[in-house]
Amino acid sequence: MFQLIMYLLFFFSIIITVHCVINNFHLKSEINQLEKELDIIIHENLRHRILVKPYSHTQNLCFQINELCALYQNDILSFKKSEKKYKNLMVNLSHDVRTPLASMIGHLELLTDSLNNISLDNYSSLEVISRKALELTNFIEMLFQWTKLDANEEKLTLSTFDIAEQSRIIISKWITSFEKNNIEYSFSIPEKKYLCILDATAYQRILDNIFKNILNHSHATKLHFSITQSATYVSISIEDNGIGIDTKEQSFIFERLYRCDISQNNKGNGLGLSIAKELTEKMHGTISVESIPNTYTKFLISFPLQN
């Protein structure tokens, strides 16, 4: 009798052990499968859902994960819709504002030119209005460019052109502004072709924004523009001898809406260099800055040469 009881206990212990081993094996298998399903959701498809098997050990956990994914997906969709509405609003607002501004500036210029007997005070007031309207126009134009880039609606027309010749054309349009601001300029552009695949308008905007930044903020008296070539890249250097950029500011200089000088006299809007960076990167180039305060600032741009 005692032996029979011992045999039964031994038999039950074996059954329990086998049952635990089987359950442990199934649990590990379910967890491994759950990890694979979660990897799909995280890295491939947020709409993917975990198939819940009846009487599985992870059944409740799978239900909770599926519910969490559904809530998260709805939040993302709502965010994307509101983000798209915001970007469309900014693009439309920029367009609607700059059209009447352009008309207003045109009429102000006509009015200023036609009034020969206007008093000095009134003429000064007209000049202030005209200057402020131009500043507002420049800001709206920058805002329009930025919102188009941010909404990924900026379509670049890439083609092969000589970046050296294109640089000469752009610089020639700035000579009057340099002279008006008493900036001594010099250029070092080799008499050879540097063929790059770029958007000509975008490249001009990059240089325009950097030149504007120098005129508005650097207090420079000298500016040097140069082009050099490496094995696979062409590099553009724009250096001035102005007040420079503090070391702690340099890492933020290309961020949107970032301004080193936040005084009321600051003419910038914190968009110009950000736009220059985004356009450069869209054309597979790089842009950086190096500066020593009260000594110099150098903007360095590089683009791959056409194979």
184 in any annotated domain: yes
Q: Tell me the three state secondary structure of residue 82.
A: helix
Q: What is the identity of the amino acid at 238? A: I
Predicted pLDDT at 82: 62
The one-character DSSP state at 231 is S
Residues 6 or more apart whose CB falls under 8 angstroms from that of 88 comprise 151
Could you tell me if 87 and 150 are in contact, meaning their C-beta atoms sit under 8 angstroms apart? yes
Q: What is the CATH number of the domain that holds 187?
A: 3.30.565.10
The answer to the question of residue 121 being in a domain is yes
Q: Are residues 176 and 288 in the same domain?
A: yes
Same domain, 201 and 94: no
273 and 164, same structural domain? yes
Q: What is the pLDDT of residue 257?
A: 63
pLDDT of residue 118: 64
Residue 174 in domain: yes
165 in the same domain as 258: yes
Which pLDDT band holds residue 93 (cuts at 50, 70, 90)?
low
Query: Hey, what are 78's tokens?
Result: 């709502």
Task: Single out the residue of 149, 193, 198 nearest to residue 303, CA to CA.
Answer: 198
Least confident of 187-196, 232-241, 248-257: 248-257
What local confidence, expressed as pLDDT, does residue 223 receive? Answer: 96
Minimum mean pLDDT range among 57-61, 145-149, 293-297? 57-61
Query: Is a pLDDT exceeding 60 seen at residue 8?
Result: no
| Averaged pLDDT, 11-34 | 56
Q: Is residue 262 part of a domain?
A: yes
Give whole-number Cα distances, 16 to 5, 13, 29, 123, 181, in Å: 16, 5, 20, 101, 91
Question: 26 with 111, same domain?
Answer: no
**Is the predicted pLDDT of residue 94 greater than 70, yes or no?**
no
Domain boundary at 150, 176, 200, which? 150
For residue 224, what pLDDT band results from cuts at 50, 70 and 90? very high
Task: State residue 261's pLDDT score.
Answer: 57
For residue 12, the model assigns a pLDDT of 43
Q: What is the pLDDT of residues 123-143, one digit of tens each?
A: 676 777 777 777 777 777 777
Is pLDDT above 60 for 116?
yes
Whether residues 187 and 297 share a domain: the answer is: yes
Instruction: Inform me whether the pLDDT recorded for 272 exceeds 70.
Output: yes
- Rounded to two decimals, the pTM is 0.60
On whether both 127 and 17 belong to a single domain, the answer is no
Residues 216 and 268 in one domain: yes
Q: What angle do CA 264, 266, 269 make, to 5 degrees?
A: 110
101 and 131 fall within a common domain:
yes
Residue 82 lies in a domain: no
Domains of the chain: total: 3
Amino acid at 298: K
Of 29, 45, 77, the one marking the end of a domain is: 77
pLDDT of residue 55: 60
Q: What is the pLDDT of residue 69?
A: 73
DSSP string, 197-215: EE-HHHHHHHHHHHHHHII
The domain in which residue 167 lies consists of 159-304
- Out of 118, 150, 182, a domain closes at 150
Q: In 3-state terms, what secondary structure has residue 230?
A: coil
110 domain residue, yes or no:
yes
223 and 190, same structural domain? yes
Question: Does residue 227 lie in a domain region?
Answer: yes
Q: Compute the average pLDDT of residues 250-277.
A: 70
Look over the chain and give the mean of its residue pLDDT values, rounded to a whole number.
Answer: 77
How many other C-beta atoms lie within 10 A of the C-beta of residue 204?
16
The single-letter DSSP state of residue 294 is T
Is it the case that residue 152 has pLDDT exceeding 80? no
CA distances from 102 to 97, 108, 110, 259 (A): 9, 10, 13, 26
Q: Residue 66 pLDDT more than 60?
A: yes
Torsion of CA 121, 127, 129, 132, to 10 degrees: -140
If asked whether residues 33 and 134 sit together in one domain, one would say no
Task: Decide if 145 is inside a domain.
Answer: yes
The strand order across the sheet containing 286-292 reads 184-188, 222-229, 233-240, 296-304, 286-292
Q: For the chain, give the percent of residues with pLDDT over 90.
A: 35
